[in-house]
Structure 1
Amino acid sequence: MPVSLDLIRCAARAIAPYIYRSPCVHSETLSRLCGAEVWSKLDHLQATGSFKERGACNKLLSLDAKEAQRGVIAVSAGNHALGLARHGKLLNIPVCVVMPRFAPMVKIHNCRLLDAEVIIHGDDFACAKEHALALAKDRGTTFIPAFDDDEIICGQGTIGLEILEDLPEVDAIFVPIGGGGLAAGLATAVKSQRPQCRIIGVEPEHAPGMHASLIKGEPCLVATQPTLADGLAAAQVGQRCFEICQQLLDEVLLVDESLIAQAIVRLLEHEKMVVEGAGAASLAGALQRPLLMRHGLLGKRIALVICGGNIDVSMLNRVIERAFAADGRMCRIGVSLRDRPGSLVHLCAVIAGAEGNVKEITHDRTFGPMDPNWVSSLLTIETRDHEHIKAIHRALDQAGILFSTS
């Protein structure tokens, strides 16, 4: 049977004993930033940190006794693998996950902690998937796709049911899109009950699979680039997912890397949430005032699907600094100084006088200007905003200090 509201409701009843019923909470701060009344659906609070548990659990519960006994196999470098591993353990179903060599070590370790068999194979997803399909055939196990599967889509669609239960008069929902399973399920659940609700998909510019497919009129392969929203970096959306999204999505919005970084930091600072790039993509979309104006959503009720929280901790500091730079809360300047006592002290005094806080300074005598009487300094400065950066630039000009920006 095709994906439908009835099947999504059946999925909700089936997975209820195993899935956390995540809250949908209002935020005064995000509402002010977006210019609308904003609620966040906090599905990053699932046990494995991602909405993927919903579809994985529903798919495993749909297996017959023989299929469950033989076990399942999947290809994933992240959240799909963790969701299958957890619910395979809960349901006593053997799980094998094939991961490409670039899979994060923490994901490999966590899957093994959940008693999944983890096989590392191939330098990309295509090689890993080919190996997984071959293993499934040899072993007689069931291959479980990450998104292009009716039971998976129905499981993800339960998020839409919960949003409508908590916010029945919602005017728009912003949903991240990777392979399209979440968007397809959510759109089916919501549009079947509240057709006037806008469903707006959000993709990174570096992985515009659904956006490109909708323009072409069929699923197409896109060349993805590295993105902070790595959980959305599907090279091609699913056929089933595309067919549903083509009918039900009101728009697919592309967001750049700086917007994703800013959204991660907004959620961290204002909502005390640690989320991955895919989880923050919905906020990155909702922060676009022209889009809200175009859809008549200023001042309206919107929901953001915060779909994942599995960000690499070592990445978080870099994301914060990039977001600060985009916000004007950090800047970098290069300065040429006379190589004589007091020059560096004078430079720092000028910046301090403009209320800038020097975070880092590199003073280079060896590889500086050709004239040995001059040296180069590179400074990273904490600032309040873009206007504050301009004020620091004016202070340097007035002091006769030669500088460049980067």
Structure 2
Amino acid sequence: MNQPRPGYQQIPASVLGMAASRRNVLRGGLLTGALLGSSTFLAACGGDSGGGDASGAVKFGMNEASGAGPAFDRLAQMAEAYAKKSGVKVDRNEVDHNTFQENINTYLQGNPDDVFTWFAGFRMNEFAEKGLISDVSDVWPIDGMADSFKTAATASDGKQYFVPKDYYPWAVFYKKSVFEKFGYVPPTDLAELMTLTKKMQGDDITPFAFADKDGWPAMGTFDILNMRINGFDFHMSLMAGDEEWDSAEVKQVFETWASLLPVHQADPLGRTWQEAATSMSKGECGMYLLGTFVVDAIPDDEDDLDFFTFPELDSSIGATALDAPIDGFCLSVAGKNQAGGKEMLKYLGTAEAADAGNKGTTPFIAANSNATTSGYSALQTKSAEVVGAAENIAQFLDRDTRADFATTVIIPSIQKFLDDPSDIDGVTKSIQEQKESIFV
């Protein structure tokens, strides 16, 4: 294994590869139906101008959760650095994260970009098994890229289909100035958490910012509650379809969540995650459970932001598991410039590319251990330390299970629960019934 640079917290191989290896049990049972397509989106992602073998240009599909902003800037900096170094034209195609995910199946089967941003683990493996992304095993090994990241890039056939870029933790964010002003202290267990929320409410502050208009943000809350209540192994088995969603264990998660909803912002289905972040920025809310990309919505607050991992709910389970998704790049089978795309991938995995995209802006924590870390912001440094110290790491609900199940079942089910948290039996029964028809 490549050794990390001094001061750099490398994710343990036994931890990082766990989510990907557990997906092998799902071979042959992946996504069966294409998601809804958009002709406008497909035209933007697969037009004939400026790419393909004729021009030698590489088409680069960029999608980020934050839409236009710092996240896209980081990718653009990497693309520009590669174009300058290689002399190859890179045609960038910027698409917001939600639009891209909703159309990814149709996109990959149509006329896609050559290289596109995507995720490690199950969400990569499903497209590898469907033959929609190219084998890039000859890109590996990558200098400075630990074996653990190679494991995360490996599909169920033992080949690599992914080049990692970075990773980031989900945690509870807060403004240091607000905590200092009111004397708040990060909680370590449920009792301390509830005491803190009561103090915040007494100070006319809503304890948790909360949003789920886009469907996916609340998945992070389910993930952490399930890992805190039932443990990491149960959570991963549930994602793999090996546990029952109407079990007592899952119902306990929803019951705990329902008991915590009164300390969250009301009406989350009408609010985007960026709007929730703004509520915390204004001091209307005290905390926000989200990924470190929260900074992209409130960049002026970065120096005032800090975070803690979600507190322990059961002493026998502890608080050592968390979501820490790995982002990176894949090569489309239907891309017109396979050779050019693979050459770009070789560059994108290097420390040089990581440095080109890292301008001291959160949440970038380079996957390549040779990347420069001296310019990391305080949040980046802490994020690397927290993820490095975690005993178990999940990739996030919609990355750790089947795309069709996450999109068509979990999103509407969680939103139904948030709209009416009193019908836990009905929600969990419905999820289980639908799961049985999908995981066959």
TM-score bin, normalised by smaller chain: under 0.3
Specify which structure has the higher proportion of strand.
1
Higher RCO (C-alpha 8 Å, min separation 6): 2
TM-score between both structures, scaled by the size of structure 1: 0.25
Structure number with bigger Rg:
1
